Amino acid sequence: MFKEFSKDFWWGAASSGPQHEGGATEGGREPSIWDKYYEMAPNRFFNEIGPSECGDFYHRFKEDLSLLKELGLSTYRTSIQWSRLLPYGATEPNPDALRFYNEVIDTMLDLGITPFMNLHHFDMPWSFQEKGGWENRDTIKHYRYFAEQCFKHFGDRVPYWFSFNEPIVVPYIAYIGDYLYPNAMDMHRAMNVAYHTAIAHAEMMDAFRESGVKAKAGIILNIAPSYPRSEHPEDLKAARLADLFHNESFKDPSLKGVYSEELIKFMQDNKMPLPILKGDDKIIAKGKVDVLGVNYYAPQRTKAKENIPNPKAPIRPETFFDIYDMPGKKMNPYRGWEIYPQGIYDCLTDIKDNYGNIETFISENGMGVENEERFRNEKGYIEDDYRIGFITDHLNQVHKAIDEGCNCKGYHLWTFVDNWSWQNAYKNRYGYVELQLNNNKKRVIKKSGYWIKEVTKNNGYEI
Ligand code: BG6
């Protein structure tokens, strides 16, 4: 049976400035929170490979984009690094950054690749992080200014803009989990950061509308559908809370233009009031997006707490519910994430049924696998059949969702060329194209790359 997609389906891939650009110290770029965190704690990064060891898109973007074209992909998302465009709080854009991003955008357009540009991918410039980052409300106006500069200089050629990639991640990894500076272990600070980020998103949308740029703007959310262990009321409550913190904290402001009253009340009741100022509701109302990017990797499974938490330990989402380790779940052992293709369908159906069926697309989905060299064949390329299987299983669910009326316009794999994965550095590889780190960063198409070339040519695949 042939699974056919629409003629104008966005077959694409996603990456980000901090993970693939490189040129970290070139062209006047300022260090971001990741560069500084690597200086502070290199041992936390796999094989001590830091953010400057990227795929060098900064110098090799023409090669990457030509390869993208060769595989028939027609859309590509990356990000403009704030730390490159306006280093050290500059008010005038850095000329080298203008040159670089202009060249990237123009090259894409020349090749017939539609640019999707994101403005923030966990990468706060260090000079703003030192002043409190997203905990400091002042950062929002600087971020808005950065967005305005992006629209002014590149708005005439970029049809899709995004305020943030996965804005709930920084609160989780830096303020609840121990994975990024300032390693706060403080849920109150985390949710303050999330709240300020939601305001920043709305400011970006407002700046976008004021700029008059003829394009669409939105946000990219890592939606993890929340499944309870059972129908027991306490399990249901656990799943509800996980959904509230992880998903609705950003779905409500960006899809409904409101901040969840339930979340506000929960934080208030638990003595962690959000830093709400008078008039914020009017700002948040401006945050309704034109387009939503859905990053889907894995669901969250939750259950009622088994034990009463230590009352003196830091408060975390898991103070209120437990993670449920469902027997028999299929796992990606390298990344430790569950593989559950139906989750992508559930995400899209939820957007259709509960959020006005807004225009959406799968902005990230993918499978990180360690030590892929073991699958290299005699022709010299990696046979990543597991990735082809993973993508097919998820695309089948996307296809079903579209058949049932979901307004989903495309599928972007994470990622195109293997890129630097934060603390995991190059442990797990995600791309259609291998990055040979020890071979002058040579790009070698994997079997999945040849496979997607056929898929893009035929607008579908046989199952
Ligand atoms: C997404 C992010 O959460 O997942 C990417 O937007 C990230 O930046 C990707 O690289 C895969 O996760 P990881 O941690 O394996 O790199």
Note the pLDDT of residue 13: 99
Q: Does residue 372 have its Cβ closer than 6 Å to ligand 1? A: no
Taking residues 282-307, what's their average pLDDT? 98
Which residue carries 């699958």 as its tokens?
375
How far is 306 from 309, CA to CA, in rounded Å?
A: 9
Amino acid 363: pLDDT: 99
* Residue-level pLDDT at 395: 99
The helix (run of H) or strand (run of E) holding residue 189 is: helix 187-211
Name the residue with tokens 């008039």.
279
Cβ 410 vs Cβ 75: under 8 Å? yes
Confidence grade of residue 426 (pLDDT, cut at 50, 70, 90): very high
pLDDT of residue 221: 99
247 lines ligand 1 (CB under 6 A): no
What are 353-396's pLDDT values in tens digits? 999 999 999 999 999 999 999 999 999 999 999 999 999 999 99
Question: What is the three-class DSSP state of 342?
Answer: helix
**Candidate from 79, 422, 435 with most ligand 1 atoms within 8 A of CB, to mutate:** 422
Average pLDDT for 288-317: 98
Q: Is 231 a catalytic residue?
A: no
* Residues 191 and 266 sit within 8 Å (Cβ to Cβ): no
Residue 144, token pair as written in the block: 């808005």
Q: Please state the rounded mean pLDDT for residues 317-346.
A: 98
For residue 273, is the peptide bond before it cis, meaning its omega torsion is within 30 degrees of 0? no
Give residue 96's pLDDT.
98
Which residues have CB under 8 Å from 303's CB, separation 6+?
A: 228, 229, 230, 235, 238, 321, 322, 323, 324
Question: Which residue of 365, 413, 421 sits with most ligand 1 atoms within 8 Å of its CB, as the best mutation to test the pocket?
Answer: 421
Closest-CA residue, ligand 1 atom 5, reads 421
pLDDT, tens only, 53-78 = 999 999 999 999 999 999 999 999 99
Percent of the chain with pLDDT over 90: 100
The pLDDT of residue 400 is 98
Closest ligand 1 atom to residue 421 Cα is 16
For ligand 1, the distance from its centroid to the CA atom of residue 420, given in whole angstroms, is 9
Tell me the β-bridge partners of 292: 219, 360
CA-wise closest residue to 24 among 80, 77, 83, 99: 83
The residue nearest atom 10 of ligand 1, judged by CA position, is 421
Catalytic residue among 21, 30, 53, 166: 166
Whether the CB-CB separation of 205 and 281 falls below 8 Å is answered with: no
Among residues of the chain, what percentage have pLDDT more than 70?
100
- Domains annotated for the chain, with CATH where assigned, are 2-127+153-179+208-248+291-462 (3.20.20.80)
Instruction: Tell me how far the alpha carbon of residue 190 lies from the centroid of ligand 1, in angstroms.
Output: 19
Q: How far is the CA of 340 from the centre of ligand 1 (A)?
A: 17
Chain centre to alpha carbon of residue 125: 18
Rounded Cα gap, residues 421 and 437, in angstroms: 14
Choose which residue among 364, 387, 416, 426 to substitute to test ligand 1 binding: the one with the highest number of ligand atoms within 8 A of its C-beta: 364
Q: What integer pLDDT is reported at residue 322 of this predicted model?
A: 98
The whole-angstrom separation of Cα 416 and Cα 435 is 10
What mean pLDDT is predicted for residues 199-204? 99
Q: How far is the CA of 421 from the centre of ligand 1 (A)?
A: 6
- For the chain, the average pLDDT equals 98
Question: In this predicted structure, what is the pLDDT of residue 69?
Answer: 98
Q: How far is the CA of 430 from the centre of ligand 1 (A)?
A: 9
Query: Confidence class of residue 24 from pLDDT cuts 50, 70 and 90?
Result: very high
Are the beta carbons of 195 and 215 closer than 8 angstroms? no
pLDDT range class, residue 265, cuts 50, 70, 90 = very high
428 lines ligand 1 (CB under 6 A): yes
Q: Say whether 166 is catalytic.
A: yes
Nearest to 11 by CA among 81, 110, 116, 167: 116
Q: Is the CB of 20 under 6 A from ligand 1?
A: no
Place of tokens 């991003």: 101
